[in-house]
Amino acid sequence: MIALLTGNVAVKTTEQIIIDVNGVGYQVAVPLSSFYSLPDEGVATLHIYTHVREDALLLFGFLTPSEKEMFTLLLSISGIGPKVALNILSHMSCTDLREALAQEDAKRLATLPGIGKKTAERLILELREKIRKLAPLDPTQQQNDLTSSAPLDINDDTLSALINLGYKEKQASAAIAKVHIGPDDTMETVLKSALKLLIR
């Protein structure tokens, strides 16, 4: 069972990360929160969840143990598979997700892509007590969540703008993934950078 990987980032796309560990490339799916914090190249460490199926062995990676812990909790819910759990963590930080579950905020959870009202209510029913028993996130982790959630909002707004301009979602996402989003960037600056890539 693979639990941790440290190696060089060989390939980085929104669909997958390939970590080269001593000449062996491991294909890992990561949430967008981790994706934007990973370097485009160089050494990275990912906490790994190994998902075994009859036809495949899939690796899911996270920058922090708390993200991996939340991913594992989400998988314990009937009807929530790895892709849906990863999607949830891509659109809501661990801090915000724990808060929404603990406060039984079904309306907020239902805004997540692929999560309707019934699923949101089931998440709360099955996870609220488990969430309340978890150790509080340390200040460093909370800051990481805040830092990583900022680009996500810009990313979503930019993607929406590009789709409105007529670009396909996959094409637009690929362009945005190539843009380095700094702490001072706005949706407008990211949009301009993405458009430059698309019109080449």
pLDDT band at 152 (very low <50, low <70, confident <90, very high): low
pLDDT-derived band of residue 86, with 50, 70 and 90 as boundaries?
very high
Residue 38 has pLDDT above 50, yes or no: yes
Asked whether residue 122 falls in the same domain as residue 166, the answer is: no
**Residue scoring higher pLDDT (48 or 54):** 48
Q: Verify that 95 and 69 share a domain, yes or no.
A: yes
Instruction: State pLDDT tens for residues 17-31.
Output: 999 999 999 999 999
Span 127-154, average pLDDT = 60
The pLDDT value given to residue 26: 95
CATH number for the domain that contains residue 21 = 2.40.50.140
In a domain, 140, yes or no: no
Other C-beta atoms lying within 10 Å of the C-beta of residue 171: 12
> Does pLDDT of 129 surpass 60?
yes
Question: Is 160 found in the same domain as 118?
Answer: no
* pLDDT given for residue 147 in this prediction: 44
The model carries a pTM of: 0.65
pLDDT at residue 125 greater than cutoff 70: yes
Residue type, 27: Q
Domain of residue 105 covers 65-133
Question: Chain-wide mean pLDDT for the chain?
Answer: 83
Instruction: Tell me the pLDDT band of 59, cut-offs 50, 70 and 90.
Output: very high
Q: The domain spanning residue 154 has which CATH number?
A: 1.10.8.10
